[in-house]
Structure 1
């Protein structure tokens, strides 16, 4: 009971309000170091790809350009990466700035901090916010000096632009390497198709069997017309002359010759006829129909290989242009600002919050003590 009497309202106020507020006032007025915030806003923009207008080029090189939002997320991760921190440490000596002895311990980096602790501290001092609507990045960088905060912010922006360019050029080089490989294969297919066409022409001694087949068809049609005409003349003579007449025998011989030549031309064109070896016209190499079909297939393969080669060549040129130009740009919407007033610590806000918390704690303590005394009585 005597111990409860020691917790008087005055002592509670001193313990829960007076002491914390006094310590906070001493800390924020004497010990706490000002932290300045430099802010910048950037956005990624991708250059227009004229190569996509090339027919089929987009299909050949599809899937190698990541969306702009993904690029922005990559950049956000890079800003908080250990690799960038090591570059900034080399350029600006961040560890020395954030571990100066004049700074207060709660926000000071230990000079003996490990690499992991240093990275965690850096991430607390560099805030990156992504706007999902506009896909812009807002970079807020803290420093114990206004000019250093701006310098650090600008260094991050410069290295971020290099990262974006290297990433896009790496993708472009991969596109170029892939396109050159496809061009090599297309050239080999085209050369093979040309070789097959030349070998076919040399073997069969025809420059173009299709044209030859058409010509043979015209000859066959002409022979058919002559046979019909000659037979008509023969029947006309047979009407008033004997079979032994000179004119009749001559026309019969002419009809037989025309029919024999017609069969030769037909067998050459279609491969149908007497295969007993009577004359060169019955050899398979002289069957123009088969040769024309085979040659047409080889010709289509050569045309397809040529189209593929043209497509691959256009894709290589497009990829070579992409590999040398600036594909993506880090557009600075708001450059790194030079702060005039310290953003942290927020002294008034922290003191008011502490005061409100102290009053709440004081009220709870008074209620608990009153309840205990009531039960003891």
Structure 2
């Protein structure tokens, strides 16, 4: 007994004097739990009013009392090529695919242009955008401030102008918003006209690029052809001979006639010398005729060509620069004539190539085909009040619920 009393006495110092230990009963635990739950409930309700209901009331007030009506004009158009025939061969199919790819690229270029500052500048040249979009009917959130910079105007117009491109049908859908129906129709018609001018400019630029090479080739060959024609004319004037080839033919014919006359005279001389002496008048006359024919024959042969001169070695060229014989003239004339014929054929080929390039460029012409044109709307399309309010309410409740859940998870882990 003494030992147990001593052990209990030893355990007492664990509860030091001045240290009060309060043991909670079940009622107190339940009371504290209910208090914590009430605080969490009040915090949850307060956060719902602050983060959901108050913004939702503000949004409802804005869309029902402040938000201005906006009229929308929808336009549908497409960029088409002039070549509309359906191909039947492989090359035609390949060219059709290339044309479709080109029109797709042009469509993307047009979309980028509609969203660019260049369109805003061209629209400002036609009418004042600040006057249209700073309308008295516009509300404070959608009004275009006249103090805005050009970059801010571009961003604002990107909200008022929406463009969509359907890659399967190659159709571009353009929607333009404004605070009056007439302004929406006017801006949409101006954008369509500016886009049509841009497509025509791009098409004409591509056509000039395609024709530039063919035009240069035609001009080059035509210049060479004119130079050779002038060279041939100068040669004819200097030689006083229209066609040396024809003159050479006539010269050869004359030589043949002289040789025939010479042979005939020599035959007659041989016949007379058989029974007459050399001093006979008829023999002397015939010899004189033969001598004259031989001299004339030598002169005509010298005109045709000098032949192998006595003082000319075997390796020397008898047709020197000063040689003006008919043979040398024929050679020069034939060179000029062959070059002229070649250039004439090259000129015809260049003209055909230019015509083919022109036809191909015409087939590749682009144009803007608008099948849904801007029309004045009868009623406003924007803002979609009920839809926007429901979307805002859904997102607000969802974000509030996620935030409350995150807070509860954090408190559970911390406790």
**Fold shared per TM-score above 0.5:** yes
| 1:124 matches 2:162 | no
Q: Counterparts in 2 of 1:168-179, with a 5 A limit?
A: none
Partner of 2:380: 342
> Contact 1:271–1:284 at 8 Å: present in 2 too?
no
Partners in 1 of 2:109 and 2:277 — Cα distance? 103
| 1:110 matches 2:110 | no
| 1:156 matches 2:191 | yes
1:14 aligns with one of 35, 46, 49: 49
Partners in 1 of 2:377 and 2:389 — Cα distance? 23
Structure 1 vs Structure 2 CA RMSD = 5.2
Shift of 1:272: 2.2
Shift of 1:352: 3.3
| 1:198 matches 2:233 | yes
Q: Counterparts in 2 of 1:5-154, with a 5 A limit?
A: 6-8=39-41, 9-44=44-79, 72=107, 75-89=110-124, 91-100=126-135, 102-133=137-168, 135-154=170-189
Partners in 1 of 2:236 and 2:348 — Cα distance? 23
Partners in 2 of 1:11 and 1:5 — Cα distance? 12
> Contact 1:243–1:249 at 8 Å: present in 2 too?
no
Q: Deviations over 1:316-346 (max 9, x none)?
A: 9x99xx9xxxx86543211013334433333
Partner of 1:287: 325
Shift of 1:12: 4.0
Partner of 2:246: 211
Bigger mean CA deviation after superposition, 146-155 or 35-44: 35-44
Q: Deviations over 1:216-256 (max 9, x none)?
A: 3444556677788889x69x979x96998899999999888
Cα distance 1:368–1:74, how it changes in 2: closer, same or farther (>3 A)?
closer
Q: TM-score, normalised by structure 1?
A: 0.66
Partners in 1 of 2:197 and 2:77 — Cα distance? 14
Q: Deviations over 1:248-278 (max 9, x none)?
A: 999999888777766655554455243779x
> Contact 2:78–2:369 at 8 Å: present in 1 too?
yes
Cα distance 1:169–1:356, how it changes in 2: closer, same or farther (>3 A)?
closer
> Contact 2:67–2:139 at 8 Å: present in 1 too?
yes
Structure with the greater alpha carbon radius of gyration: 2
Alignment size in residue pairs: 345
Partners in 2 of 1:116 and 1:243 — Cα distance? 124
Cα distance 1:361–1:134, how it changes in 2: closer, same or farther (>3 A)?
closer
Q: Deviations over 1:104-160 (max 9, x none)?
A: 333221121122211221233123344445554332111122232112111222344
Q: Deviations over 1:260-308 (max 9, x none)?
A: 766655554455243779xxxx995542222112123334555537975
Query: SS of the counterpart of 2:72?
Result: strand
Ranges in structure 1 where 5+ consecutive residues have no aligned partner: 49-66
> Contact 2:161–2:174 at 8 Å: present in 1 too?
yes
Cα distance 1:203–1:41, how it changes in 2: closer, same or farther (>3 A)?
same
> Contact 2:214–2:350 at 8 Å: present in 1 too?
no
Partner of 2:390: 352
Partners in 2 of 1:227 and 1:22 — Cα distance? 132
Partners in 2 of 1:361 and 1:189 — Cα distance? 81
Partners in 2 of 1:46 and 1:33 — Cα distance? 42
Cα distance 1:129–1:211, how it changes in 2: closer, same or farther (>3 A)?
farther
Partners in 1 of 2:115 and 2:200 — Cα distance? 18
Cα distance 1:373–1:276, how it changes in 2: closer, same or farther (>3 A)?
closer
Q: Counterparts in 2 of 1:320-331, with a 5 A limit?
A: 329-331=367-369
Cα distance 1:196–1:188, how it changes in 2: closer, same or farther (>3 A)?
same
Q: TM-score, normalised by structure 2?
A: 0.61
> Contact 1:186–1:309 at 8 Å: present in 2 too?
no
| 1:375 matches 2:410 | no
Query: SS of the counterpart of 1:105?
Result: coil
> Contact 2:137–2:179 at 8 Å: present in 1 too?
no
Bigger mean CA deviation after superposition, 158-167 or 16-25: 158-167
